[in-house]
Structure 1
Amino acid sequence: MKMVRSWFVAMFGLWLATQAAMAQAVDLPDFTQLVEQASPAVVNISTRQKVPANGISQLGIPDLEGLPPMFREFFERSIPRAPGGRQPQREAQSLGSGFIISDDGYVLTNNHVVADADEIMVRLPDRSELEAKLIGADPRTDVALLKVEGKNLPTVKLGDSNALKVGAWVLAIGSPFGFDHSVTTGIVSAKGRSLPNENYVPFIQTDVAINPGNSGGPLFNLDGEVVGINSQIFTRSGGFMGLSFAIPIDVAMNVADQLKKTGKVDRGWLGVVIQEVNRDLAESFGLERPAGALVAQVMEDGPAAKGGLQVGDVILSVDGQPVIMSADLPHMVGTLKPGTKVVLEVAREGSRQKITLAVGSMPADDDQQMASGGNAVPKSDNRLGASVSDLTSQQKKSLELSGGVVIREVQGGPAAMVGLRPGDVITHLNNQSIDSVATFDKVAKSLPTNRSVSMRVLREGRASFITFKLGE
């Protein structure tokens, strides 16, 4: 009887394990139908570009790219020129991916896949090749729109990247290392990621395996809709390490529509330099928690200046949409059409107020630089451990400032601890505008102790706020 009971218990346990395994298998998605439906619209993109040959290959010497610059320049100068002084040329090739968004032949891919190409070829799944024309490209979002001649071409379905949720399954199709129509899967790891030097794309982060050649390819949700364009990976080895980033399809299509209509992209612009609000800055500006975008610099005659935005304002929301991280602001403003009126909620001098202004059009070169310098003048001592002097009229003109003081010497104390250097210009201290050495000394003498104090510093044309604390 005991043997029968033991057998029954063992079989029942085996049945439970089998049911659990089956339930788990049911929960895992089947991607086969998705791949069958979506693959025909995914293409391989190859480019050719004529570039100056380094000439070393012609002499039987390996490529120069791995050599130190000093030796590389020496060898390049030593290479004989072609007749007439022309530099020999070689043909560079690159591979990437893309996808067809209209049956008459419009194709989306990354800008870096086709940048500076002399010839772009699009290869369809049936191995046929079509020469593509570049309609337009936007380096800021890394989106490019191509056009091939064709009719009734297969197309992808476009989804809503805003509706995508963290943890959702996603799938990529592309040509990593030239292996056409490779399929990889994973989940959405995060949304709204900001990457260094990428201010206008709230990237979708995934753990989908992406490698060189996947760039420009589509990222699908489980409904077979494109929700992003695979664009970048984070890597220390050159290969996939579990962090890949895709451009949201709504951002890409906004760019593509503008490229199709005008060949260029107009995006909203405030004309400010912003920085993150950390805990100390939040305390200094009287905020309950670190949030928003701190205005460190306002461009002269820019939309922000005309609308009344000031240095030291903390932008908390745009048309009611909260600005959690400073990187959120370029995403929000960049998608607006120039001329659009927006309502900004800002924290200013301990209170909140709303400012309405018209968004401007971002200039072609929005990296505005200013210089500082001048002759030595008498020093002034203060509690910060720095000697300062008034700006000369020439400095004020070159920096486009009405006032401020320039650091002549850092003697120690808080100034040294926060990394101030001679030549730095201080325009605000403890939320007060500094127009002269006298004002600076007056404000410095009244600084509170054991509390975060903010200071706006201009260095090499870039402004930022820093914080420090004075002891008893």
Structure 2
Amino acid sequence: MGSARHTLSFLLQSAVAGLAVAFVAVLLFPDLLPEGHPLRGGQSAPASYASAVAATAPAVVTLVGRPAVPAGFAERQAPGSLGSGVVMNGEGFVITNHHVIAGTEDLEVVLVDGRRAPARLVGTDPDTDVALLRIELPDLPSIRVGRSDQLEVGDVVLAIGNPFSIGQTVTQGIVSGTGRGQLGLSQFENFIQTDAAINVGNSGGALVNARGELVGINTAFFSRRLDSEGIGFAIPINLVRGVMEDLLEYGRVIRGWLGVGTQTLTPDQARALGLAEPYGIILTTVQPGSPADRAGLRPNDVITHVNDQPVVVWQDALRSIAAMRPGTRVTLSGSRRGQGFRVEAEVAERPSRL
């Protein structure tokens, strides 16, 4: 019996000693663990993003042009740097921001290798601040396009552009937020927020992930002064691709439209109206002859659901309707003077200028 206890004690001591040795080995040599093991910690983080930059930077270009001269005026300014752009493919299509090229003429694209070419405007979409240009040059660089819907807060991103006309510059940061709206920058807002420095001249440039894939088009930075404060915004590449496809196929972006003005319902307003749900949007205006008017909607109606999906803020409803093709039937439900209602409307094409 005593011999058995002695043997068991010896085995336990050996096991504890073995675990201690293994623990120390893991601390000193974490690479011994399999890839992805949580105890490897930051060992999987790259020491450099040079490969991601090399794969993407050649496709990021500088746009040069001059303000358009009104009819009757002879004086013209010298061409200057307007901002940045991204060569999307070998066919010469270049994406930039609408605000970069609006009101300009004699547009040129300047590549990192020094080549330059006149740029033709294919189409523009002020509602998302996206413009599509085309150039003709041989052996154009292109960029690998990623998926902005797979971005997560904390992902490493690189902003590439030509800030302050000093030459191509790369800044590094993380995704600080997604789905940012209500900023007043464009009609349809769904921005990626990043702390990668975005400055004057970066607009239209590339936001890429650590794998060297284009995930956004840099658009704006938040600042109380004319410098970056670590709050920049980029248009998700999934949205940009949809705009580009419509511009190429139709020459414009086709969006659904009901013809209403809206504002978000506050919880206090919801309680005052006796609504069961503390959310929704109020119709402030209904355009005569619009799809909403034909469906019987009226100012001060409260819409709580679009196709039985809750509507929390007016931007949600705007994006939902805009994503529908003209001719689509949509069901709207809500409250009018305390009484519930449900109507069906046929979506029309959103007018190009509202």
TM-score by length of 2: 0.81
- Alignment-mate amino acid for residue 54 of structure 2: E
Aligned to 1:297: 285
> Quick check: 180-189 or 273-282, which moved more?
180-189
Offset at residue 344 of structure 1 (A): 2.7
Using a 3 Å threshold, how does the CA distance of structure 1 residues 122 and 90 change in structure 2: closer, same or farther?
closer
Cα deviation 1:18-49 (Å, max 9, x = unaligned): 97998435446742221111122211211123
Aligned to 1:431: none
Distance 2:177 2:273 in 1: 30
Cα deviation 1:378-428 (Å, max 9, x = unaligned): xxxxxxxxxxxxxxxxxxxxxxxxxxxxxxxxxxxxxxxxxxxxxxxxxxx
* Matched position secondary structure for 1:196: coil
Distance 2:297 2:47 in 1: 50
Of 160, 167, 170, the match for 1:183: 170
* Matched position secondary structure for 2:269: helix
CA contact (8 A) 2:81 2:165 kept: no
TM-score by length of 1: 0.62
Using a 3 Å threshold, how does the CA distance of structure 1 residues 314 and 185 change in structure 2: closer, same or farther?
farther
Of 33, 37, 41, the match for 2:55: 37
Structure 1 residue 134 corresponds to structure 2 residue 121: yes
Aligned to 2:80: 93
Structure 1 residue 272 corresponds to structure 2 residue 260: yes
Of 81, 96, 105, the match for 2:92: 105
CA contact (8 A) 2:158 2:196 kept: yes
* Matched position secondary structure for 1:201: coil
Cα deviation 1:304-324 (Å, max 9, x = unaligned): 111233333333333354422
Using a 3 Å threshold, how does the CA distance of structure 1 residues 120 and 87 change in structure 2: closer, same or farther?
closer
Cα deviation 1:85-123 (Å, max 9, x = unaligned): 966443353331111112111110011111122211112
Aligned to 2:107: 120
Aligned to 2:297: 309
Using a 3 Å threshold, how does the CA distance of structure 1 residues 174 and 274 change in structure 2: closer, same or farther?
same
CA contact (8 A) 2:265 2:282 kept: yes
- Alignment-mate amino acid for residue 165 of structure 1: E
* Matched position secondary structure for 1:281: helix
- Alignment-mate amino acid for residue 139 of structure 1: P
Aligned to 2:180: 193
* Matched position secondary structure for 2:235: strand
Mapping of residues 412-431 of structure 1, within 5 Å:
none
* Matched position secondary structure for 1:95: strand
Distance 1:143 1:273 in 2: 24
CA contact (8 A) 2:129 2:186 kept: no
Using a 3 Å threshold, how does the CA distance of structure 1 residues 94 and 123 change in structure 2: closer, same or farther?
closer
Aligned to 1:440: none
- Alignment-mate amino acid for residue 252 of structure 1: V
Cα deviation 1:215-249 (Å, max 9, x = unaligned): 00121223322221111111111111111111122
Distance 2:219 2:176 in 1: 15
Aligned to 2:67: 49
CA contact (8 A) 2:204 2:218 kept: yes
Offset at residue 281 of structure 1 (A): 0.8
CA contact (8 A) 1:160 1:249 kept: yes
Mapping of residues 305-344 of structure 1, within 5 Å:
305-344=293-332
Mapping of residues 415-454 of structure 1, within 5 Å:
none
CA contact (8 A) 1:120 1:132 kept: yes
Cα deviation 1:266-285 (Å, max 9, x = unaligned): 32111111111112112123
- Alignment-mate amino acid for residue 183 of structure 1: V
Distance 2:193 2:340 in 1: 34
- Higher Rg of the two aligned structures: 1
Distance 1:277 1:28 in 2: 47
- Alignment-mate amino acid for residue 295 of structure 1: L
* Matched position secondary structure for 2:176: strand
- Alignment-mate amino acid for residue 123 of structure 1: V
Of 121, 140, 145, the match for 1:158: 145
Offset at residue 157 of structure 1 (A): 1.8
Distance 2:252 2:156 in 1: 34
* Matched position secondary structure for 2:187: strand
Cα deviation 1:52-97 (Å, max 9, x = unaligned): 7xxxxxxxxxxxxxxxxxxxxxxxxxxxxxxxx9664433533311
Distance 1:21 1:95 in 2: 48
- Alignment-mate amino acid for residue 152 of structure 2: K
Using a 3 Å threshold, how does the CA distance of structure 1 residues 197 and 300 change in structure 2: closer, same or farther?
farther
Offset at residue 303 of structure 1 (A): 1.0
RMSD: 2.9
CA contact (8 A) 1:274 1:297 kept: yes
> Quick check: 196-205 or 300-309, which moved more?
196-205
Cα deviation 1:133-154 (Å, max 9, x = unaligned): 1111122211110111134422
Distance 2:47 2:179 in 1: 25
Aligned to 2:239: 251
Distance 1:238 1:96 in 2: 15
CA contact (8 A) 1:51 1:91 kept: no
Using a 3 Å threshold, how does the CA distance of structure 1 residues 212 and 316 change in structure 2: closer, same or farther?
same
- Alignment-mate amino acid for residue 110 of structure 1: N
Distance 1:221 1:347 in 2: 45
Aligned to 1:203: 191
CA contact (8 A) 1:94 1:113 kept: no
CA contact (8 A) 2:126 2:186 kept: no
CA contact (8 A) 1:202 1:331 kept: no
